[in-house]
Amino acid sequence: MATIGTRRVGGRYLGGWVIFGLLRARIRAFNVRYLLEVLALALVYLVAGRLGLLVATVGSNVSPVWPPAGVALATLVLRGPSRWPGVFLGALCVNYGLTQTPLPASLGVAVAATLSAVAGSLLLRRVSFDASLGRIRDAVWLCAGAGAACTSISSTLGSLSLMLGQVLPASELAHSIWVWWVGDMMGVLVMAPPLLALRRPRRPRKWGEALLLAGLTAVLGAAIFMLSGVGLSAKHAAAFLLFPMSAWAALRFGAAGAAPTTLFIATAATIGTASGQGPFSSGHMTEDLLVLQLFVAVTAVTGLLVAAASEERKRAMEQLQLLATTVRGVHEGVLIAEALGQGLLRTVFVNEALCTLVGHSREDLVGRDPCFVYGDQEPELTRRVKSAVIKGEPLCTEVTVTRKDGSLLRTEVLLSPVRATGEDITHFVATHRDITATKELQARLVAAERVAAVGTLAAGVGHEINNPLAYLVLNLEAASRSLSEGGLPAARDALSGVRGALEGAERIRLIVKDLQVFSRQGDQERGLVDLNALVPPAVRIVSHALRHRARVVEEFGPVPRVLGSEARLGQVLLNLLVNAMQAISEGSPTLNEVRVRTSTDASGRARVDVMDTGAGIPTHILPRIFEPFFTTKPTGEGTGLGLAICQQVVRAHGGELEVRSEPGRGSVFSVLLPGAPVQVSSPSSRPVATPLPTSRGRRGRVLVVDDEPRLAQSMRLLLEPYHDIVTTTRGSEALALVAAGHRFDVILCDLQMPEVDGATVFRRLCATAPDQAERVVFISGGAYTPESRAFMESVTNRVLEKPVRPEVLMATVDAALSDGGALVDPEPVVAIAGGSRH
């Protein structure tokens, strides 16, 4: 065991030595690489300095051409400021070794050169400089920041060091600072860009063009700066030909082409001018080289800026092409419109998805107002779009789009302003998303929730119907027995029984009417809705199921009418009442209360509060109660859609649904709806059937068309003492009678019939006998199909809702007779299907 333990300890020591050895090797490798980089930088600095000293003009130390400044800056930018010892060592060797400058002065010059290079590299890192020089801001920071500003450190401190070291007389200090600064700045502008741009050399794709550019630049450079015997004016004129070469290189090859071209031009110009050749040679070398540097600076800066601008434009075009390709390929319709002022827009772009969506070609849409695709379906939208364009605000709404084939679809439109110039809005982008299927699904969910809400109360509704139905049957039975016995007392009993039966029938009619309000399918018609009139039917439907849980209190206050759908708002009230009912347990109706209160809030909106004293809603659940399918109720008591649909309906009416709740103290749901504008009236132009005084003025001819024989017979029995009645159970037979030449003063026609319905009868009468179509009075048990609802909204004829009260039916017939003269039949009319002959 001791041996094993020793091995373990020895292994642990061995592992430690291995790790230590690897770390030491890593450190040594790093130190060696770092040392080599520092020495390489110092060597390159020394060689570049030797070349710069060849044209020194202030003593033997200051030159208007100083390539080491660019070498030092580029190295510290690429490899990091930590390589500064290479700059210091190279500058010290140049001054102390090559120019024999005293050591104190050489140390000062080396420190100045190092500080200038480090300051330039730190500045460029600070501004997130990109060494590829592909942005204008990078070129500006290199030229103005590192080139013009930071080089003033070396020129100032370096010249002071030479003066303090008695190498430079004080009278030459200002001139030395100027020449030194020009030399360092030219070194940065000429040497740094090619080193930065070519850090990752890439082979040019256009070798032929690159070789042609290099050859022309070489020929022009040699001819301008190195050939003798050429006139000075000709050389000055030829020097301008170098600018197109620099621009060519910048535009076609970017900074990687402009920087070497500038370096070659600067090298040729410097050699030629130092040799007394070229357009800048006047015999005074210092002034000639300073003027030359101005030419080189203009060439370098122009080349870098043009290259950067070209790269930015290239990237912008690539992004634009990518954006255009993306926009064309997205599945949502995209439209871009130009803002023309005064709220006007002109379409400049549409993608394929939008063309497919609206059924128009690109030529149909481009150049037109974007609201063209909305047609006449959305006049209010045009006003809202113009308002949003004038204000420069985004707009998100649902609209109806008219396709080219005339069909309609629902889309969700998001209109967003675009500030292309950064200030003024120049364009608007509209995205269209087809939500037809989504709206259909939402409608089905709303219908399902409506059925679920009514289904929850089915037992109570059935009980409410059974009570009057029971005494209706009993009273009718008693009346029948009394009539069979005969005699005056029996007649009185029969009359009393019939009156009781009528009372029960009236109660059933009211219950059915309430159910129709809350079970109407797909009712999108909007009109003026009185919330005070909408509350009682909802309370009556829920009252039987609620009476075993709480008492119901209705509290009505002044409330403005709202513009909306009676069925949808009725569903909201019914859902909230069912929700309140389910929050209260059975067994203590005297201790609990559900209160419905209508009022007007401080802002003038209509307000309906549904308050209960139930269990309340826990705080952690309250934020989620409006989420679809979220419910805390047991299975069978809730779908999780009720409150979500309530919120959706209220928001669709421009209102808000708020909730306040405290566990154990009940909840308050508040519906807030904006009041209808004064100028808005109910969209329905159909006359409303109301009890009218019967004239009994004259006898008329009445055709009754109803597929229910007993109902047709009942109307015949009611009207026969005052008018001549013909009955039929089929619409086709009614049309045959009119086609045979029979004419009627009033045609009572049921809407929902098999084979030929009331709408078909009316349309055919309009085509064949318009005078008879004007005399049609429709009797409807409810519009259950979209076609029948659309038909009822379009006709102006009177519509009576089943079950029709006797006095209403008689008054309607008398009113129709009073509107025109009696029509005389050429022959007696034959009653069909149980009718009588008159």
Nearest CA-CA partner of 191 in 44, 43, 34: 44
Tokens for 679? 């100028």
Tokens for 680? 């808005």
Answer whether residue 318 is part of any domain.
no
Of 179, 197, 215, the residue at which a domain comes to its end is: 197
Of 653, 673, 693, the residue at which a domain comes to its end is: 673
Can you tell me the distance from the alpha carbon of 811 to that of 67, in angstroms, rounded to the nearest whole number? 111
pLDDT at residue number 276: 77
The Cβ of residue 540 has, within 10 Å, a number of other Cβ atoms equal to 15
Residues 391 and 254 in one domain: no
Strand order in the sheet with 724-728: 724-728, 701-705, 746-750, 776-780, 799-801
Residues 44 and 172 in one domain: yes
Q: Do 38 and 162 form a contact (C-beta atoms < 8 A)?
A: no
Can you tell me the distance from the alpha carbon of 53 to that of 68, in angstroms, rounded to the nearest whole number? 11
Enclosing H/E stretch for 540: helix 531-546
Answer whether residue 9 is part of any domain.
no
Residue 603 is part of a domain; what is its CATH number?
3.30.565.10
For 172, residues 6+ apart whose C-beta sits below 8 A from its C-beta are 58, 59
Residues 786 and 646 in one domain: no
Which CB contacts under 8 angstroms, 24+ apart, belong to 28-37?
34/82, 34/83, 37/79, 37/83, 37/86
Which letter, b or e, does each residue of 166-182 get, where b requires 16 or more Cβ atoms within 10 Å of its Cβ? ebbeeebeeebbbbbbb
Can you tell me the distance from the alpha carbon of 30 to that of 34, in angstroms, rounded to the nearest whole number? 6
Residues 130 and 171 in one domain: yes
The 10s digit of each residue's pLDDT in 724-758 is 999 998 999 999 999 999 999 999 998 888 888 88
Where are the alpha helices (H) located in 547-653, listed in sequence order?
566-582, 642-652
pLDDT at residue number 287: 80
pLDDT at residue number 152: 92
Residues 193 and 213 in one domain: no
Answer whether residue 507 is part of any domain.
yes
Residues 627 and 495 in one domain: yes
Can you tell me the distance from the alpha carbon of 153 to that of 177, in angstroms, rounded to the nearest whole number? 10
Nearest CA-CA partner of 805 in 506, 508, 514, 476: 506
Answer whether residue 10 is part of any domain.
no
Residues 476 and 619 in one domain: yes
Where are the alpha helices (H) located in 80-229, listed in sequence order?
84-92, 103-126, 136-140, 151-164, 173-197, 207-225
The helix-helix angle for 173-197 and 285-329 (nearest 10°) equals 30
Answer whether residue 787 is part of any domain.
yes
Residue with tokens 């059935």: 462
Residue 62 is part of a domain; what is its CATH number?
1.10.1760
Nearest CA-CA partner of 191 in 47, 310, 38: 47
Helix (H, G, I), strand (E, B) or coil at 382: helix
pLDDT at residue number 260: 86
How many Cα neighbours within 13 Å face the side chain of 619? 0
Enclosing H/E stretch for 396: strand 395-402
Cis peptide leading into residue 194 (ω within 30°) = no
Question: Model-level pTM greater than 0.75?
Answer: no
Residues 97 and 123 in one domain: yes
For 535, residues 6+ apart whose C-beta sits below 8 A from its C-beta are 554, 556, 573, 596, 598, 608
The Cβ of residue 651 has, within 10 Å, a number of other Cβ atoms equal to 11
Of 407, 434, 461, the residue at which a domain comes to its end is: 434
Number of compact structural domains in the chain: 5
Helix (H, G, I), strand (E, B) or coil at 777: strand
Can you tell me the distance from the alpha carbon of 591 to that of 675, in angstroms, rounded to the nearest whole number? 36
The boundaries of the domain holding residue 757 are: 701-818
Give, in order, the Cα–Cα distances in Å from 701 to each of 527, 687, 726, 767.
36, 23, 8, 22
Answer whether residue 694 is part of any domain.
no
Can you tell me the distance from the alpha carbon of 539 to that of 460, in angstroms, rounded to the nearest whole number? 12
The 10s digit of each residue's pLDDT in 197-254 is 777 656 656 777 878 888 888 888 777 777 666 566 666 666 777 778 888 888 888 8
Burial of 487 (0-12, 13-18, 19+ CB in 10 A): exposed
Q: Do 799 and 792 form a contact (C-beta atoms < 8 A)?
A: yes
Residue 406 is part of a domain; what is its CATH number?
3.30.450.20
Residues 647 and 513 in one domain: yes
Residue 745 is part of a domain; what is its CATH number?
3.40.50.2300
In the chain, which residues have pLDDT < 50? Answer: 1-15, 18, 459, 463, 521-523, 679-695, 821-838
For 47, residues 6+ apart whose C-beta sits below 8 A from its C-beta are none
Helix (H, G, I), strand (E, B) or coil at 235: helix
For 681, residues 6+ apart whose C-beta sits below 8 A from its C-beta are 528
> What are the backbone dihedrals phi and psi of residue 48, each rounded to the nearest 5 degrees, phi first?
-65, -40
Q: Do 439 and 652 form a contact (C-beta atoms < 8 A)?
A: no
Residues 190 and 235 in one domain: no
Residues 414 and 478 in one domain: no
Can you tell me the distance from the alpha carbon of 87 to that of 73, in angstroms, rounded to the nearest whole number? 9
pLDDT at residue number 114: 94
Give, in order, the Cα–Cα distances in Å from 501 to each of 324, 380, 482, 506.
75, 51, 14, 9
Can you tell me the distance from the alpha carbon of 126 to that of 648, in angstroms, rounded to the nearest whole number? 52
Answer whether residue 100 is part of any domain.
yes
Q: Do 729 and 754 form a contact (C-beta atoms < 8 A)?
A: no
Percent composition of the chain: helix, strand, coil (DSSP 3-state, to 5): 55, 15, 30
Tell me how many degrees the CA angle 624-628-629 measures, rounded to the nearest 5.
95
The C-alpha R_g of the chain, in whole angstroms, comes to: 48
Helix (H, G, I), strand (E, B) or coil at 188: helix
pLDDT at residue number 837: 32
Residues 624 and 551 in one domain: yes
Answer whether residue 479 is part of any domain.
yes
Can you tell me the distance from the alpha carbon of 609 to that of 669, in angstroms, rounded to the nearest whole number? 6
Q: Which residues pair with 408 in a beta bridge?
A: 402
